[in-house]
Amino acid sequence: MKHNPGSLEKEYCIGCGLCQSCFGEEKASVKLNDKGFYAPEFALTGEEYAALQSFCPVDVEPGCYSKQVWGERRSVCLGHAADETVRNTASSGGVLTAVCTYLLEQGLADGIIQLGDSEVALQKTTRISRSKEEILACAGSRYIAALPLEQVVQMLEANPADRFVIVGRPCDIRGMRAYLKLHEQRAQQVVCLLSFFCAGTPSVNASRRMIEKMGAADANITHVSYRGNGWPGYSTVKDDRGNAYTMNYEDSWGAILGRDIYRGCRFCYDGIGEEADIACGDAWYLDEQGKVTFDERPGRNVIFARTELGERLLRQAEAAGCIVCEAFDEPELDKMQPYQYVRKAQLRYKLLAMRTARRQIPAVDPGKLAWHKSRISPKDRARMYLGTLRRIWKKKI
Ligand SMILES: Cc1cc2nc3c(=O)[nH]c(=O)nc-3n(C[C@H](O)[C@H](O)[C@H](O)COP(=O)(O)OP(=O)(O)OC[C@H]3O[C@@H](n4cnc5c(N)ncnc54)[C@H](O)[C@@H]3O)c2cc1C
Ligand code: SF4
Ligand code: SF4
C-alpha cells in the first residue's frame, strides 16, 4: 500500500535512533513525546527518504521468514556466565555480558556499543565500553524508551581503526544489519551483532508510574534499574536521600511496564533476535503444571547461535571458560516463553485486520506467517482479527 513519505515510519517507530545518527538532527530528529516514547520528525529529500527505507526497522522486511518457532540457528543451548558476579548482576544468566567481555579481553573487539545509564536516572544512553567494568555496568535489561543506535554511525566514524560488538534489541539489530549491508567500510568495523528476546519497549512514563507506585518521588530519583541482582531480580529505585525502593518482576514488568509499550512493538515480527549472531532470552523454570515461575534463582539464559560466526564465538567463549553451557530440549521453550511462542500467529491476524481496514502496515508479509497459525486456536485467531478491527473502529489503533 502506498503511503506518504515518513508516515509509516512515524506510525510504527520503535525509537532505535538510527535515522538521526545517519542524517543528523536537522533532517531526522527523534524526540521524546508526551506519552514518553521517542518519535521521529523528518525533513528528508526524496533520495534521503529512499535511503531511510533501506535501513529503518519499520521498512526492512525480515531477513528470513523461518518456519521454525524459534527461528534459524546453528545451535541452541542453556547457559550462564561462569563469573558469578556477572551472572548475578546481569538480566538473566549474563551470557551477553560474558561474551562481550571475552571478545574485548581476547583483543577480538576494541569496544562494545551498548545501552547503559546516564547521569539522569530515566535517560538511558548508548556508550562504548572498553573495559570489563564498563561492560558490567551496562548489564541488565533497561525496560524504558531510549535510542540504542542514536550515536552508532558517529561512534564508528570517529574510531575508524577500531572493531566493535553492537548489542541491541532485535529491531535495532535488523536496522543495523540492513545499514551495514549498504556500508561496507562500516561493516568491516563490526565484529558481531548481539541481541536478546524482547516483548516490547515500555515508555518513560511507564517507569514514572512504577516509581510512583513504589512510593518514591520522581524528582529525587538518582538510579533506576529493572533486573539484576538475582534472577529475575527486582526493579530498584534509589533517591538522593539514600532511600532504596524495590518491586518484583511480576509487579513491575507484568503489571506496569509491559502494558505501555511502543505501538510498533504490538506489530513486531521478531522478538527473538533472529538477525543477530547470538541471541539470549530468559530460560524460565516451569512448575509442575508446566507454567512459568518467577521464583528467585541463579540466572539462566537460553542461547541461540544464529550464524556460523555466532556459533564460533560462542564456542570460543565456552572453551575459554567464560560461559557455561548445557544441552537443551528445545520444545520446552514453547512453555518457557509462552508469549513469544504465539506472537507470529497473533501478528498474522492483526496484520490481516489492518489490511481489511486499508491501514498501512510495517514491512511484514502476513501471507508468509501462515505456517505459524496453528499455534493459536481458530477461536483465538478470530478474536485477534476481530479485536484488532474493533480497536481500529474505536480509533484506539
Ligand atoms: C525491552 C526489553 C524487553 C525484553 N523482553 C523479553 C522477553 O520477551 N523474553 C525474555 O526472555 N527476555 C526479555 N527481556 C530480557 C532479556 O532478553 C533477557 O534477560 C536476556 O536473557 C538477557 O541476556 P543476558 O542475561 O545475557 O543479558 P545481560 O548480560 O544483562 O546484557 C544485557 C545487554 O542488553 C543491553 N540492553 C539492556 N536494555 C536494553 C535496551 N532497552 N535496548 C538495547 N540494549 C539494551 C545492555 O546494554 C547489555 O549489553 C527483555 C529485555 C528488554 C530490555
Ligand atoms: S524506527 Fe529507528 S530509523 Fe525508523 S524512524 Fe524510528 S528511530 Fe528512525
Ligand atoms: S518488541 Fe520488537 S519492535 Fe518492540 S522493541 Fe522489542 S524487538 Fe523492537
Task: Name the DSSP class of 1.
Answer: -
Nearest CA to ligand 2 atom 1: 13
pLDDT at position 82: 98
Average pLDDT, the chain: 96
Has residue 160 been placed in a domain? yes
Has residue 208 been placed in a domain? no
**Rounded-to-integer distance, Cα 396 and Cα 66, Å:** 31
Least distant ligand from the CA of 51: 2
Shared domain for 319 and 344, answered yes or no, is: no
One-letter amino acid of 16 = C
Domain that holds residue 326: 75-202+260-336
Least distant ligand from the CA of 58: 2
Shared domain for 329 and 344, answered yes or no, is: no
Shared domain for 265 and 384, answered yes or no, is: no
Instruction: Please compute the mean of the pLDDT values over residues 52-80 and round it to a whole number.
Output: 97
Cell (9 digits) for 32: 521524546
With the most atoms of ligand 1 within 8 angstroms of its CB, the residue from 38, 128, 196, 234 to mutate is 196
User: What confidence category does residue 178 fall into, taking pLDDT thresholds of 50, 70 and 90?
Assistant: very high
User: What confidence category does residue 4 fall into, taking pLDDT thresholds of 50, 70 and 90?
Assistant: confident
pLDDT at position 110: 98
Angle at 251 between CA 250 and CA 255, to 5 degrees: 95
Least distant ligand from the CA of 52: 2
Shared domain for 328 and 341, answered yes or no, is: no
Share of the chain above pLDDT 70, in %: 99
Q: What is the domain count for the chain? A: 2
Expressed in angstroms and rounded, the spacing between residue 196 Cα and the centre of ligand 1 is: 5
pLDDT at position 228: 82
Shared domain for 283 and 378, answered yes or no, is: no
Shared domain for 197 and 341, answered yes or no, is: no
Shared domain for 187 and 152, answered yes or no, is: yes
Final residue of a structural domain among 336, 356, 372: 336
Expressed in angstroms and rounded, the spacing between residue 117 Cα and the centre of ligand 3 is: 20
Has residue 315 been placed in a domain? yes
Shared domain for 107 and 141, answered yes or no, is: yes
Pocket of ligand 2 (CB under 6 A): 9, 13-19, 30, 40, 56-58, 175
Could you read off the pLDDT of 216-275 as tens digits, one per residue? Answer: 987 789 999 999 889 999 999 999 999 999 999 999 999 999 999 999 999 999 999 999
Has residue 53 been placed in a domain? no
Shared domain for 272 and 397, answered yes or no, is: no
Instruction: Please compute the mean of the pLDDT values over residues 339-367 and round it to a whole number.
Output: 97
Q: At 112, which CATH number?
A: 3.40.640
Nearest CA to ligand 3 atom 8: 171
Has residue 65 been placed in a domain? no
Instruction: Please compute the mean of the pLDDT values over residues 278-302 and round it to a whole number.
Output: 96
Has residue 14 been placed in a domain? no
175 lines ligand 3 (CB under 6 A): no
Final residue of a structural domain among 285, 302, 336: 336
Has residue 391 been placed in a domain? yes
Phi-psi map region of 270: left, alpha, beta (phi>0 left; psi -120 to 50 alpha): beta
Least distant ligand from the CA of 39: 2
Shared domain for 142 and 179, answered yes or no, is: yes
Final residue of a structural domain among 317, 336, 355: 336
Transcribe 46-114 into DSSP letters.
Answer: HHHHHHHHTT-TTTSPPS---SSTT---SEEEEEEESSHHHHHHSSSS-HHHHHHHHHHHTTS-SEEEE
What distance, in Å, lies between the first and last C-alpha atoms of the chain? 18
pLDDT surpasses 70 at 3 = no
Cell (9 digits) for 69: 518457532
Expressed in angstroms and rounded, the spacing between residue 162 Cα and the centre of ligand 3 is: 29
Angle at 303 between CA 297 and CA 306, to 5 degrees: 165
Residue 167 C-alpha from the chain's centroid: 9
Half-sphere exposure of 108 (CA within 13 A, CB side): 15
279 lines ligand 1 (CB under 6 A): no
Prediction pTM value: 0.98
Could you read off the pLDDT of 103-125 as tens digits, one per residue? Answer: 999 999 999 999 999 999 999 99
